[in-house]
Structure 1
Amino acid sequence: MRLLKEVILGLFLVSTAALAGQDDVVMQLAIENAKIKPEQAVVKIADHYPGYLSSFGIDDEDGKMVYEFGIIDPKDSVELEVIMDADSGKIWLDEKDALSSKTLKSKKYQLLMNSGMTLEKAVQEAKKVVPGQLLEAELVQEKGIVFFEIELLTDRGDRKVIVDLQSGKPIPVTRR
């Protein structure tokens, strides 16, 4: 009975790993087939909207690949969630949330607005140490450090790199 449980557990682990690999392959194909690549979308949104990009992600909407962006607009004290169709380039506002003056004065947002480090620059720095295709990016504050966490799709699967807002230094995250 114990052997049967170990075999079932082993098959489960192997199939889970295979599915993770399948997800990477599907994502790579979707990005290759998209008319607008992730980095192009980031530049287009940064040029189109005032404020500071704080996040990027790839999602599926009605069977189509879309890019999702978080944008901090300190002038209007709002955070926007904007979506772009990866094929047509159509852009639409999904959500608009008010930000308090306390939130805008937080270390996280002050560094974003004053460091000179943008999401676009953070992605460029991350790709210097881990070449790959942009999958996700998020502004994070942890243990007093503010950084962009960048996820890139490489030939060996997805890898994370953090880019410190103060120094601009990219640091690959090792896998455990």
Structure 2
Amino acid sequence: MVRWLLVLLMFTGMADAAPPSLYSLLSQGQYQPPMQVMLQLEQNYPGVITQFDIDVQNGELIYEFNMLDPDAKTTVGFAFKASNGSLLEQKVAKLESDDLEELAAVTLMRQKQLKFSQLITLATGELDAYLTEAQLDHDLGISYLELKLLSAAGRHKLAFDIANLRPLPLLKWD
């Protein structure tokens, strides 16, 4: 029975070594920091970053960003290779009704003269964790930045109030 199970695992590919975890890829440090790519994006493109995400494709880290440009009424999606920061893809779309929550947060950020990268720095402070996801949102009259972080201890989520520049304890969870 055991021999049959081993043969089955080999044929289904389940006996292969597991792909590296996101934490192991990030801790190896063979990539450009997402903040560096984020700063270049903020300098070179109009609008405000509204979302950041890390994806792993074929064992390679990919940074994905969305920007919202209220003046042009567009959103732009970007994908960058984390290893060298090169642009892989750029997609432009018209602003849609489901972008209104992000638009409210972007409007507040513009009033406060804040950039997405500044919010992330304020929200994460001295935390020893990797940023894996960040997104602007507006709900219940509050514009905030929701972050997902990864550390040796595991995954963590937190929310940061844009208007008051402080963590939102009611929206902080692990």
Q: State the TM-score, normalized to the length of structure 1.
A: 0.74
Alignment identity in percent? 22
Q: Which structure has more helix as a fraction of its residues?
A: 1
**One of 57, 81, 86 as aligned partner of 1:85:** 81
**One of 20, 23, 39 as aligned partner of 2:35:** 39
**One of 28, 34, 38 as aligned partner of 2:23:** 28
In structure 1, give the amino acid aligned to 2:138. Answer: Q
In structure 2, give the amino acid aligned to 1:109. Answer: V
The alignment of Structure 1 onto Structure 2 pairs a total of residues equal to 153
Checking the alignment, whether the CA contact within 8 Å between 2:101 and 2:139 is kept in structure 1 is no
| Separation of aligned partners in 2, 1:108 and 1:134 | 20
List gaps (5 residues or longer) in structure 1: 1-21
Root-mean-square deviation over aligned CA pairs: 2.8
Partner of 1:59: 55
Partner of 2:70: 74
**One of 41, 46, 60 as aligned partner of 1:50:** 46
Assess, with a 3 A threshold, how the Cα gap between structure 1 residues 43 and 105 changes in structure 2: closer, same or farther: closer
> Which secondary structure does the structure 1 equivalent of 2:121 belong to?
helix
The list of structure 1 runs, each at least 4 consecutive aligned residues, that deviate by more than 6 angstroms after superposition, is none
Q: What does 1:131-170 align with in structure 2 at a 5 Å threshold?
A: 131-170=128-167
